[in-house]
Amino acid sequence: MKFLKTFNNSAALIENNQGQEEIVLGKGVGFGLKKGDPVDESKIERRFVTKDEVDQVKGFDPKTIEVTNKVLQLVEPLLQIKFNDFQYLALADHIDFAVTRIKDHIDIAPANNSWEVQNLFPKEFAAAKKVVNLINQEMQIKLPQSESVLMTYHLVNAKSDVSQVQETIQITNLIRGIIDIIQLQYSMQLDTSSFNYSRFVSHLRILLVRFLRNKQKEEASLDPAMLGFMKIKYSKAYETAERITTYLHAKMGWDLDSDDEFYLVLHIWRVTSRQDN
């Protein structure tokens, strides 16, 4: 593995043993090397090997990789998440394009969904605001406030094992619809800062990702009689879950089974009855 070119001390273009170009990332991976020098593989933390990936990273402003690394150093411990290589590249591409957009005076503002994102993903949104401030400071620019919404999607991706930002937007819209149903049914405003709300939204993310990707459930099925018990004990939560089931079927063509409905009833009861927790 031979060194070809450095982008900064943490990013380098190399030639692998098959004579193909790769871009590798890692602290000090390109420091002090000259063309043809061997690369210390123990320093490599990420690598991009396909031609599309290599060409994409080559097109970035060299400062983009440095700033992306600083963003991860900020948010990964803060949110206890880990970006995979695909999510890292998507984030770097977003940052690079955001800087280009602001220089060209283009603002892509998400349509009227700042409130929803802030309330559905409060921790990620708060972290996104810090990320935007960091980018502004490092790049010496001033990104618009709408950038916090777009950045939130990337942070949610890393936390939810979602690769595509479009999936996150779709999930966000579905969760918003579910929350609206609950608040309408109970004539109440849910406490978005409560632990039970956060746990409920996390449950919905997992459920919706499973359906979006047609994944099979790994856990054993519950006794169907359990749902009947929930119907009697938590009748209003059950009725609300039925409305949500109808909503997801109408919107996406999905059919929730008795296990899905059981956990939905349980979370609805918790989030509406125990907001002080």
Assign 206 a pLDDT band (cuts: 50, 70, 90): confident
Q: Which one-letter DSSP state was computed for residue 110?
A: -
Co-location of 77 and 158 in the same domain: yes
Co-location of 152 and 73 in the same domain: yes
Co-location of 7 and 84 in the same domain: no
CATH number at residue 32: 2.30.24.10
Co-location of 132 and 107 in the same domain: yes
Minimal CA–CA distance to 70: which of 14, 133, 18? 133
- Count Cα atoms within 13 angstroms, Cβ side, for 187: 0
Q: What radius of gyration do the chain's Cα atoms show?
A: 22
CATH number at residue 123: 1.10.1790.10
Assign 179 a pLDDT band (cuts: 50, 70, 90): very high
Co-location of 149 and 204 in the same domain: no
The 10s digit of each residue's pLDDT in 223-267 is: 777 778 888 889 999 999 999 999 999 999 999 988 899 889 999
Most confident stretch, 18-22, 58-62, 137-141, 208-212: 137-141
Q: Round to whole Å and give the CA distance between 78 and 127.
A: 8
Question: For residue 95, what pLDDT is reported?
Answer: 93
Q: Round to whole Å and give the CA distance between 237 and 218.
A: 25
The 10s digit of each residue's pLDDT in 73-99 is: 999 999 998 898 888 988 998 899 888
Query: Which range of residues forms the domain containing residue 266?
Result: 189-273
CB atoms within 10 A of CB 136: 15
Co-location of 66 and 157 in the same domain: yes
User: 250: part of which helix (H) or strand (E)?
Assistant: helix 235-252
- Residue 170 domain flag: no
Number of domain units in the chain: 3
Co-location of 157 and 71 in the same domain: yes
Co-location of 193 and 146 in the same domain: no
